[in-house]
Amino acid sequence: MNFEEELTDKVQDIEQLLRRYLPKEEGFQRTVLQAMNYSVLGGGKRLRPLLMREVFLHCGGENEAILEPFMAALEMIHTYSLVHDDLPAMDNDDYRRGRRTTHVVYGEDMAILAGDGLLNYAFETAMKAFDTASGTEYPRVAGALRVLAAKAGVYGMIGGQVCDVESESRQEVISAEKLLFIHEHKTAALIEAAMMIGGILAGAGEEPVRGLEKAAYDIGIAFQIQDDILDVTGSEEVLGKPIGSDERNGKQTYVSIYGLQKSVEDVEGLSREAIALLKLTEDSFLYGLITWLIHREK
């Protein structure tokens, strides 16, 4: 099986896992449950749960019963952030991945509540890991919960989103420092959560988990720079959105600040560093995944 086939299999596996953890669409609150499920099952790379499981296996993790709730939880958090980002008061996007956004289908009020519901349900879901955790796994689940909450919050993803939204609404020319802050928080934080949680649940100690955090940071930043590169060099057909839209909107990107050449070099350098930190061999799936992420065309 080549990398692409393995990737397709693993992503399909995650789709099934997500369906198992999503709520049943019943009761007086049915509409919000439908809106939550519609949002989560809208496709996507499933990058975060994918990375979480691969790191878990890479670190010798065995009991997937404590891992799976966290895989689902992290994807719920990623999804809620997109639902709220797309709202009229934020980016005001009517389409995402070729489908109508949640507020277009269910109304703005339901989209706000579906986002709230997903964030809250993510924690409910992750806490299910306590049910099957053994004595030694119990503190690992608690540790993983704390990383999940920290990386998703105002000192993680939300913090980056706030800074991004505010800079855009002020139409300010942002500094390289602020741009890095946005990328670190809005993009890298949840990748860090994915990989750290994979390690923590597998029983990795403090120092190895710090190594995972650094590797995840590199991957997150490289991933974001590649996004900015694709906005300039990509094909509209492949990307499914207009090329150069960031540039036309006057949005500062890594490429507009550092130029294309340094951007491409940095993506390479960061991914090489991540691979070295993780001590990956070329035949491992995780090696293939990181390489694919960095060289993707959409």
What are the residues binding its own copies (CB under 8 A)? 23, 27-29, 31-33, 36, 80, 84, 87-90, 107-110, 112-113, 115-117, 119-121, 123-124, 127, 130, 138-139, 141-142, 145-146, 149-150, 152-155, 158-163, 165-166, 169, 178, 181-182, 185
Three-class secondary structure assignment of the chain: CCHHHHHHHHHHHHHHHHHHHCCCCCCCCHHHHHHHHHHHCCCCCCHHHHHHHHHHHHCCCCCHHHHHHHHHHHHHHHHHHHHHHCCCCCCCCCEECCEECHHHHHCHHHHHHHHHHHHHHHHHHHHCHHHHCCCCCHHHHHHHHHHHHHHHCCCCHHHHHHHHHHHHHCCCCCCHHHHHHHHHHHHHHHHHHHHHHHHHHHCCCHHHHHHHHHHHHHHHHHHHHHHHHHHHHCCHHHHCCCCCHHHHCCCCCHHHHHCHHHHHHHHHHHHHHHHHHCCCCCCCHHHHHHHHHHHCCC
CB of 67 to its own copies, least distance (A): 18
